[in-house]
Structure 1
Amino acid sequence: MAKLPKPVRKIIPNGTVPRAYIAAVILLALSFIIAESYIMWLLREGYWTAKNNQWQVEGVQNSVQTSMTAYQVYNAIYILSQVYMVILCLEAVATENFIQIFASVGFYFVCLVYAVARYIAFYLYPTLTANIFLRDENMHHMQLSVIGTYVAAIVFLAILSWKLKTEVGWSVYKKFGADNLLHRSYKWYQILMLLLKLDIFFVVSYLIQMSILVLKVDNPETWIQMTVFIPFSIGTLAASFYSLRMENRSIMRTVMVCYTLSVGYFIFKIYRVCRAEILNKPGDPYQDSRPYFMITIVATMLLVIASAIVSLFCIRNFDNGLKEAIEYEKMKRDHHRAYNTNVNHSDESVGLMQNAELRGALDRFSLE
């Protein structure tokens, strides 16, 4: 099998399964981006047609315009999410992170839930705005096609991910040898890293939805959101990455407290979104965005809870040599890349261990 060009091999290693996995992820992402872009166009066309021909009441026009804005915001977020997922999958294959490889399956499951919720809102229990599209066959067919493609994508990527895991598993063994403690620690490390990367996307998605669809300048909640929640989220995520890489127990424990406080905040938001005094009433700020917003809130809250639980396992694995093992592996790869030698066959490993803290780890981590 012909080798890929060297710059490409840094991202996509040789092998049928890795190439098939990356090709599938990219093709699926492009397909969904095109489909969602077309749905966005149908939304815009339906809005202008109905506005010019039917709506004469100003209140109705404002309500439908608010709903259309919500639909288009969610379409735009979804398109950006496809790009983010491709980046995660490319990184997973390039770094041989078998935990992150399975992220595509879970991601498309969440997207399937979103697509089903959208279909229900449009065709089973249509709102005022969704009534515009009840007789739009193009919109109907596109939404059914998206749902069907999601189901096929989940099955196909699950099979490819499992096969790719088998190949990557041997590479992980070569990194850390037969040390079961290191393997277990590295597994929890990878899980938490993946959860934090997903936290970034869902928290940013939540903030976009809140900022564009809900918050108003004259609303005190807007300023609480801007001055408290946004800095709190950024600081917590940054501290999570730092404490995990540096194996800092005190910061990680503080982060776990922040996660716990965040769960309380999201429970409060669920109450605020679903409270009876605004539900389906005139001026409802969550009109036609409630199902999708609730999916985002629940998904973000579950990720935060999972991050807190996995952080506890990571704390228990601190100071067992994983940090030194990762640093040694990175130094070894950088060295072999610089001198264009094979990372698995070289007699220059001792030269990599100039740092006194890492020198004692050579016998434990190196297989050469």
Structure 2
Amino acid sequence: MKPSHNAKHHPLTRAYRYVFGKFQASLKDYNRVGDQVVPDHNETRTIPTYLAVFMFAFIYQIVLVYDALRLKNTIQIIGLVLYNVGILIYAAIQFDQISDAVAQLKSTDQIEPQFWSKIRPMLVALPIMMAVMTVIFAFIAWKLYDEFAWTIYKHISADLRLKRRYLTYQVYIALLKFDFFFFLAFTVQFLVVVEKTGLAERILTAAALVITFFLLFLAAFWVRRESIAGMIVVIVVYFIALAYFLFKLIRMYVAGLARQEDYKPARKSLTSFAVLTILLLLATIVVACQCTHNFNKGLKPHVSNKSVGDVQNNKQYSGEMPSLSGPAPSSRMEID
């Protein structure tokens, strides 16, 4: 079954769609209280943004699960467990932020008073459901790790050094996929929620998101082609991105009082995403350096194919034994 079809019926996605629908139905369509004009609070944007990030996180998770099973990437499956933990932390933070946003909207009579009482049980139940599912997911990941380890053994051979290089490559590819989500989630929240951001800063932030998207594909392409020059460029950009997120994180807490008020509605979530992104970038830089160090050591034929699973299936279909030299290089450029 295709991940796009499953995404529509993900129970947590449907739950957040319910909360989003309740919010839209409860939000009043006027900006006046008596004769007084009510300011357009950015809380009317923060709640939909939080919920949209959540729904995208679950849809993206389904895509990554499908991708990990297709590629038999054991590292990505382990990463998905940690990804679930990160989303669980965000769910806990989001509860307080939605509560604060609703209180602000109620103070200006921009939302129905009963809205919070209707959605609070759902917002309490969702993190509990996520915690239970994360434990189940961790058990399944442990079983899949044992299953896929044998497939990798047949694909790479018994050479322990080559197997370590291949696992390093798998870690790097998995990190690129998780980097994409956290880059996107932080940038979207910053652009939508934070008010009074200058036009130049908004343009630069949006441009950085587009550049990041293409960079992640190029990073995967260059590591598979063992391009030292390409990897040097990528690692330099990683350091620039690291400096950017450190700057944003510090600015949220040391800027002037007026600017801190602009960050306040989303400061908790932006802080959590900034910290997680910084940690991911540090890990990505270290692993990228390790991958570059492993160039020209016999790994290239094993990482140039589409997936370990595809190679194994093709060999079984043709009746041939897996070749220790690996498949012919593929010309496709994709993060796998």
Whether the TM-score (by the shorter chain) exceeds 0.5 is yes
Q: How far apart are 1:267 and its partner, in Å? A: 1.2
Q: Deviations over 1:36-70 (max 9, x none)?
A: 01111222233228x689686434x412xx11211
Inter-partner Cα distance in structure 1 for 2:201 and 2:98: 30
- The aligned counterpart of 1:255 is 234
Distance 1:159 1:248, change over 3 A: same
* Correspondence for 2:274 among 280, 294, 297: 297
Helix, strand or coil: the match of 2:262? coil
Distance 1:145 1:56, change over 3 A: farther
Is residue 212 from structure 1 mapped to residue 192 from structure 2 by the alignment? yes
- The aligned counterpart of 2:54 is 78
Sequence identity (%): 22
Is residue 242 from structure 1 mapped to residue 218 from structure 2 by the alignment? no
* Correspondence for 1:100 among 76, 100, 108: 76
Structure 2 residues not aligned, in runs of 5+: 330-336
Which letter does structure 1 place at the counterpart of 2:276?
A: A
Inter-partner Cα distance in structure 2 for 1:310 and 1:320: 16
Distance 1:335 1:315, change over 3 A: closer
Of the structure 1 ranges 208-217 and 83-92, higher mean CA displacement relative to structure 2 is found in 208-217
Q: TM-score, normalised by structure 2?
A: 0.82
Helix, strand or coil: the match of 1:143? helix
Inter-partner Cα distance in structure 2 for 1:302 and 1:279: 29
Q: How far apart are 1:74 and its partner, in Å? A: 2.0
- The aligned counterpart of 2:204 is 224
Q: How far apart are 1:297 and its partner, in Å? A: 1.9
- The aligned counterpart of 1:62 is 40
Inter-partner Cα distance in structure 2 for 1:189 and 1:42: 44
* Correspondence for 2:170 among 172, 190, 193: 190
- The aligned counterpart of 2:333 is none
Distance 1:288 1:263, change over 3 A: same
Which letter does structure 2 place at the counterpart of 1:143?
A: L
Inter-partner Cα distance in structure 2 for 1:215 and 1:280: 9
* Correspondence for 2:141 among 143, 161, 175: 161
Inter-partner Cα distance in structure 1 for 2:184 and 2:305: 34
CA contact (8 A) 1:120 1:126 kept: no
CA contact (8 A) 1:192 1:311 kept: yes
CA contact (8 A) 2:31 2:40 kept: no
* Correspondence for 1:31 among 6, 11, 30: 11
Which letter does structure 1 place at the counterpart of 2:49?
A: V
Distance 1:57 1:289, change over 3 A: farther
Helix, strand or coil: the match of 1:321? coil
1:43-62 correspondence runs (5 A): 43-48=23-28, 57-59=36-38, 61-62=39-40
Q: How far apart are 1:163 and its partner, in Å? A: 0.8
Distance 1:306 1:163, change over 3 A: same
Query: Rg: which structure is higher?
Result: 1
Is residue 137 from structure 1 mapped to residue 117 from structure 2 by the alignment? yes
Larger relative CO (CA 8 A, sep 6+): 1 or 2?
2
The size of the alignment, in residue pairs, is: 323
- The aligned counterpart of 2:320 is 346
Q: Deviations over 1:136-169 (max 9, x none)?
A: 3321100111010111011110011001111111
Inter-partner Cα distance in structure 1 for 2:162 and 2:301: 11
Structure 1 residues not aligned, in runs of 5+: 1-7, 12-21, 358-368
Inter-partner Cα distance in structure 1 for 2:148 and 2:308: 20
Inter-partner Cα distance in structure 1 for 2:204 and 2:139: 45
- The aligned counterpart of 1:147 is 127
- The aligned counterpart of 2:265 is 288
- The aligned counterpart of 1:179 is 159
* Correspondence for 2:90 among 109, 114, 131: 114
Distance 1:83 1:230, change over 3 A: closer
* Correspondence for 1:87 among 63, 71, 89: 63
Please, what is the CA RMSD of the aligned residues? 3.6
Q: TM-score, normalised by structure 1?
A: 0.75
